[in-house]
């Protein structure tokens, strides 16, 4: 059977990882480690650090803080992702190796179709997220620059006002500062794009493996089924029973491999998920509040695309997290679709043990505090709206 390399769908993300300094594999270039540390420092730690210092020098009113906080929460989430990749390189390599292992390779034509469909979805999803992300990012970066070139208006910094600098210094170095902020925003967008789509791709493959296992369990007795009228429980030969037990045990081992794979994903991304979902509630709240303040039509277009991307960043993983839980629970029902009733007592005992184990659904959690599920997504959106209402109340009191 054709060998299917499942990790091929991550090739674009892996190429970007190398540019972004978070490449988990060995690199022949001896200076790559220096490049990696320097790149991450300049566009993650220094970039975020300057934005943090800026808050201390802002005027003490809500409108100014909200304006500066639009990107700040996103940058904190990106920082957690970059740090995760820097400290968990070996585990990320292990994730990719498991995907291409023999255990996760489909053995039937239908299995090949399931895995191929998962690969195609991952490639298509990366392209969609990339198109939306590039559009939103370029609109925000280029709009003030085009306005500055086409009309006699000053060039405005697009992510942070750098209030700790005097107006004279900012005016003198406006173009280098603008270029650093614009490129830094683009780099952070690339981190988000290529880490989030990779994480979602892993979840898609978990679902695909659960579907492969469901197919295996449904057909576990097919080659050992006797003709109607001659079927009796005591007529099953020992050799046939051993074959059935072997097939069932293989399915159980496959299930345990999927469970360990989910645990490894959670081990790597658990803290990152907690940070991202916590920041997402703040980001959506701040964007909603910013819609209530005056701005240009172009800025409203940017806000609309930005809040859409932020919402999708948490909704899509929650959706597929629910799918993983549903698919794993369905295994305990799918196993009874096989011809289990005439089988031996030993086979039925093994079957019962598997059902008991499968009744506990697989899930991926954020820092052991919340599972990726639609219920979590609903809670986050409710929290975002509650924070938005609180900000509106504070604004009305200031007025």
Q: Which residues contact 376 (CB under 8 A, 6 or more apart)?
A: 277, 318, 321, 370
Element (H, E) at 370: strand 370-371
Of 269, 248, 259, which Cα lies nearest the Cα of 209?
259
Cα 234 to chain center, whole Å? 51
Cα 10 to chain center, whole Å? 13
Determine the 3-state secondary structure of 365 from DSSP.
Answer: strand
- State whether the Cα torsion 102-103-104-106 is positive or negative: positive
Report residue 371: phi and psi, to 5°. Answer: -85, 155
**Sequential DSSP letters for 155-209:** PPPSS---TTS-HHHHHHTHHHHHHHHHHHHHHHHHHHHHHHHHHHHHHHHHHHH
Of 45, 240, 208, 195, which Cα lies nearest the Cα of 117?
208
Determine whether 34 is exposed, middle or buried from the number of CB atoms within 10 Å of its CB (0-12, 13-18, 19+): exposed
C-alpha triplet 53, 161, 151: angle, nearest 5°: 165
Of 108, 114, 99, 139, which Cα lies nearest the Cα of 6?
99
In angstroms, rounded to a whole number, what is the distance separating the alpha carbons of residues 1 and 4?
9
Of 342, 178, 357, which Cα lies nearest the Cα of 251?
357
Question: And the tokens for 297?
Answer: 């039509």
Q: Where are the alpha helices (DSSP H) in the chain?
A: 11-20, 32-40, 46-56, 62-87, 89-99, 109-150, 167-172, 174-218, 238-291, 297-334, 345-358, 374-398
Cα 170 to chain center, whole Å? 37
- Whether residue 262 contacts residue 364, with contact meaning beta carbons closer than 8 Å, is answered with yes
Burial pattern 104-138, b for ≥16 Cβ within 10 A else e, equals bbbeeeebbebbeebbebbeebbeebbebbeebbe
Q: Checking DSSP bridges between strand 365-366 and strand 370-371, what pairing results, if any?
A: antiparallel
One digit per residue, the tens of pLDDT, for the chain of length 399 reads 567 899 999 999 999 999 999 999 999 999 999 999 999 999 999 999 999 999 999 988 777 888 889 889 999 999 999 999 999 999 999 999 999 999 999 989 999 999 999 999 999 999 999 998 898 889 889 988 999 999 989 998 988 999 999 999 999 999 999 999 999 999 999 999 999 999 999 999 999 999 999 999 998 888 643 333 333 444 444 467 888 888 899 999 999 999 999 999 999 999 999 999 999 999 999 999 989 888 888 788 878 878 888 898 899 999 999 999 999 999 988 888 888 888 888 889 889 888 988 888 999 999 989 999 999 999 999 999 998 998 888 877 765
Q: Please tell me the predicted confidence (pLDDT) of residue 187.
A: 97
- State whether the Cα torsion 137-154-58-293 is positive or negative: negative
Q: Which residue has the tokens 């079927």?
A: 231
Report residue 366: phi and psi, to 5°. Answer: -100, 105
Q: Please tell me the predicted confidence (pLDDT) of residue 269.
A: 97
Q: Which residue has the tokens 């360990």?
A: 260
Q: Which residues contact 294 (CB under 8 A, 6 or more apart)?
A: none
Of 233, 140, 222, which Cα lies nearest the Cα of 185?
140
């Amino acid at each position: 059977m054709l060998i299917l390399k499942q990790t091929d769908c991550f090739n674009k993300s892996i190429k970007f990882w190398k540019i972004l300094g978070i490449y988990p594999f060995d690199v022949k270039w001896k200076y790559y480690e220096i490049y990696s540390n320097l790149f991450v420092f300049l566009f993650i730690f220094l970039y975020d650090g300057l934005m943090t210092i800026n808050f201390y020098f802002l005027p003490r009113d809500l409108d100014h803080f909200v304006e500066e906080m639009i990107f700040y929460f996103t940058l904190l989430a990106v920082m957690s992702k970059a740090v995760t990749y820097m400290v968990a390189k070996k585990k990320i390599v292990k994730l990719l190796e498991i995907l291409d292992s023999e255990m996760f390779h489909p053995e039937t034509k239908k299995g090949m179709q399931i895995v191929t469909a998962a690969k195609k979805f991952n490639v298509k999803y990366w392209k969609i997220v990339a198109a939306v992300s590039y559009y939103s990012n370029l609109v925000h970066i280029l709009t003030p620059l085009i306005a500055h070139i086409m009309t006699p208006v000053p060039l405005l910094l697009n992510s942070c006002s750098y209030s700790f600098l005097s107006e004279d210094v900012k005016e003198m170095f406006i173009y280098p500062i603008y270029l650093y902020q614009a490129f830094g925003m683009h780099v952070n967008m690339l981190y988000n794009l290529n880490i989030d789509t990779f994480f979602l791709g892993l979840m898609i493959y978990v679902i695909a493996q659960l579907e492969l296992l469901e197919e295996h369990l449904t057909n576990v007795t097919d080659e050992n089924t006797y003709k109607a009228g001659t079927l009796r429980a005591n007529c099953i030969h020992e050799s046939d029973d051993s074959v059935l037990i072997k097939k069932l045990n293989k399915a159980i081992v496959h299930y345990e491999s999927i469970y360990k794979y989910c645990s490894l994903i959670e081990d790597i991304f658990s803290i990152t998920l907690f940070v991202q979902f916590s920041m997402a509630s703040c980001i959506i709240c701040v964007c909603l509040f910013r819609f209530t303040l005056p701005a240009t039509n172009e800025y409203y277009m940017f806000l609309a695309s930005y809040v859409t991307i932020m919402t999708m960043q948490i909704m899509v993983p929650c959706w597929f997290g629910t799918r993983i839980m549903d698919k794993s629970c369905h295994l305990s029902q799918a196993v009874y679709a096989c011809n289990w009733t005439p089988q031996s007592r030993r086979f039925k005992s093994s079957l019962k043990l598997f059902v008991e184990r499968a009744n506990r659904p697989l899930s991926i959690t954020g820092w052991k505090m919340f599972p990726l599920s639609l219920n979590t997504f609903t809670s986050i959106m409710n929290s975002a709206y509650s924070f938005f209402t609180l900000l509106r109340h504070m604004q009305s009191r200031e007025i």
